[in-house]
């Protein structure tokens, strides 16, 4: 007698919304791309799940946290990492946005904020030539958050770790958020966070 293996119900397989994850880019760039996309998706899912009218988190906190992840995990001078970032940004900017948008789509904004602040190379601006209007107000609003970056990173990473999601956040995202919460706490009084 043959028994069928148990399978997930169709509605439980996905996250309920399209995501920025691109299979071709995953094949091209490997684990680094998959972890980056998963992190952006999970942070966006947490934003969706925890947003409320009495939210006291900073405006565009998901962009800030994604930018801090980028600063920690990527060297914009390394050609392979630069190519990965450009491909990730371009693939998101080419998506046809529906009513709900794509989970993780804050990633280009995170890159833009780092470029606009002068932290990342100015020539990255070329990646955003399709934007009719640059999010300059977001950059201004996030300046105060970056000014208190270590504490904000620790607090927001810990908030993400405490959030209950179904399905839960991906293990690489959980690991990254744990590191971010711990290192930001350790380095809060020690200056800037290293990129290695």
By the 8 A CB rule, do 113 and 143 touch?
Answer: no
Sign of CA dihedral 154, 47, 113, 141: negative
The larger pLDDT score, comparing residue 193 to residue 103, is at 103
- Say which residue the tokens 């966070």 belong to: 193
**What is the band of 56 on the pLDDT scale with cuts at 50, 70, 90?**
confident
Domain spans in the chain, listed from the N-terminal domain onward: 21-50+57-187
User: What pLDDT does residue 60 have?
Assistant: 94
**What is the band of 54 on the pLDDT scale with cuts at 50, 70, 90?**
confident
pTM score: 0.85
Query: Tens of pLDDT along 19-34?
Result: 999 999 999 999 999 9
Does 15 score more than 50 pLDDT? yes
Query: Tens of pLDDT along 123-174?
Result: 999 999 999 999 999 999 999 999 988 999 999 999 999 999 999 999 999 9
178 vs 90, 95, 168, 183, 191, CA distance in Å? 29, 30, 14, 9, 20
By the 8 A CB rule, do 120 and 83 touch?
Answer: no
By the 8 A CB rule, do 66 and 89 touch?
Answer: no
């Amino acid at each position: 007698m043959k028994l069928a293996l148990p399978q997930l119900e169709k509605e439980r397989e996905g996250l309920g919304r399209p995501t920025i994850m691109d299979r071709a880019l995953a094949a091209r760039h490997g684990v680094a791309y998959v972890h980056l996309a998963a992190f952006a998706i999970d942070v966006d899912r947490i934003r969706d799940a925890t947003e409320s009218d009495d939210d006291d988190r900073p405006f565009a906190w998901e962009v800030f946290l994604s930018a801090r992840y980028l600063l920690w995990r990527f060297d914009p001078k390394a050609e392979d990492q630069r190519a990965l970032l450009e491909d990730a940004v371009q693939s998101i900017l080419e998506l046809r946005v529906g009513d709900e948008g794509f989970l993780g789509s804050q990633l280009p904004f995170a890159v833009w904020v780092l470029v606009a602040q002068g932290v990342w190379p100015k020539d990255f601006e070329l990646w955003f030539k399709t934007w009719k209007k640059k999010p300059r107000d977001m950059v201004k609003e996030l300046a105060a958050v970056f000014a208190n970056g270590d504490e904000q990173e620790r607090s927001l990473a810990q908030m993400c770790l405490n959030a209950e999601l179904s399905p839960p956040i991906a293990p690489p995202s959980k690991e990254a958020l744990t590191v971010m919460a711990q290192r930001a706490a350790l380095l809060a009084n020690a200056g800037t966070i290293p990129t290695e």
